[in-house]
Amino acid sequence: MKVLIAGIGLMAVVMAARGMDGQYPDSVDVSCGKLEVRLGAATFWNMNRVVYDQLPISADLTHAYWGTVFEFPEIGLIGSGHKDKDNTSEKIIDLRMIADGEPVSLQGVTGPKKIVCGEFRMEKRAQVKDIEFNYSLTIKNDQLTEVCTLKAARDTPLNLMYNFMHPWSDQMTDYYIQVNEGVPKQGKFLADDKFPHQNPFIWVALYNANTGAGIVSKAAGEDVRLFLWDRKQYKKTYLCSFYRKTMPAGQEVSYKMTTDFFKSPQPDWPKVAEEKARQQ
């Protein structure tokens, strides 16, 4: 399949963090099959909008951050959307985009751009204090696959680390969490700003009873927990790890989140979500 890029041709790409302002567009819209995803500079080149089969399925808010965040003792949260008192946040070292196997360049263009392809991949290298990480996003077969590999330059105590933050639509009505094999947890969203789940999990599904659309996210990695935040603005899922632990110097850790999308009548949606999770 040909890669179509509005207003620009195909060129080699390496987006360096230094000098990115003024050289690259504010945002890039990617259309892959039934999925439309927006990536943007304001959100540290993380996703900030997801549409499935023409249905908005995530929040569409600049401050509804996706990405990776660390909570350092006596400092607080630093990462995508979070800065400390010295204005320290996520530093992007480099960024690459590939569509249908071809490197894509957005250097020197202005305004939002759209990429239409059958398979898209973004690779980002970033740093927060002494922790450097590589994040990749692959969009293929109406599925999102995210991988984050991290390494600390020195022993780094953490209250917790969370990545793969997913602020889904405020219109989501139900959740279903596979806590252990054969042990599900199901409930309704109340928009009460509470966390109905902050524990280990295998996969999580959210569902919008009004549109019949839903998502299923499955995690891979050591000692991962799901934090599910029931906010009025969005229903947010986090993959959390290093809960009150130290990230050892030089030890590489890796996490993966696969997200599928589905449509289903209301009575059948948990079964449909289970089938999607088995396929991941």
Q: What is the predicted pLDDT for the residue at 270?
A: 96
Asked whether the beta carbons of 180 and 80 are under 8 A apart, the reply is no
Q: Is the pLDDT of residue 18 over 50?
A: no
Asked whether the beta carbons of 109 and 224 are under 8 A apart, the reply is no
Q: What is the predicted pLDDT for the residue at 104?
A: 85
Asked whether the beta carbons of 239 and 182 are under 8 A apart, the reply is no
**CA–CA distance, 170 with 135 (Å, rounded to integer):** 26
Q: What is the predicted pLDDT for the residue at 4?
A: 38
Q: What is the predicted pLDDT for the residue at 85?
A: 66
- Residue partners of 268: CB distance under 8 A and separation at least 6: none
Question: What residue segments make up the domains of the chain, in order of their start?
Answer: 4-279
Mean pLDDT of 23-46: 88
Q: What is the predicted pLDDT for the residue at 42?
A: 82
pLDDT in tens, 55-94: 999 999 878 899 999 999 988 999 887 776 676 788 999 9
Bridge partner list, 235:
168, 230
pLDDT in tens, 242-262: 999 999 999 999 999 999 999
Q: Is the pLDDT of residue 176 over 90?
A: yes
Q: Does domain 4-279 have CATH number 2.70.98?
A: yes
Mean pLDDT of 102-120: 81
Q: Output the CA torsion 29→207→194→51 (10° steps).
A: 10
Q: What is the predicted pLDDT for the residue at 24?
A: 63
Label residue 26 by pLDDT band (50, 70, 90): confident
Between 52-56, 113-117, 131-135, the lowest mean confidence (pLDDT) is in 113-117
Q: Is the pLDDT of residue 16 over 70?
A: no
Mean pLDDT of 124-128: 94
Between 24-38, 122-136, 146-160, 206-220, the lowest mean confidence (pLDDT) is in 24-38
Q: Is the pLDDT of residue 155 over 90?
A: yes
Q: Is the pLDDT of residue 280 over 50?
A: yes
Average pLDDT, the chain: 88
**CA–CA distance, 132 with 258 (Å, rounded to integer):** 22
**CA–CA distance, 8 with 179 (Å, rounded to integer):** 46
Mean pLDDT of 174-183: 94
Q: What is the predicted pLDDT for the residue at 113?
A: 79
Q: Is the pLDDT of residue 19 over 90?
A: no
Q: What is the predicted pLDDT for the residue at 8?
A: 30
Q: What is the predicted pLDDT for the residue at 6?
A: 34
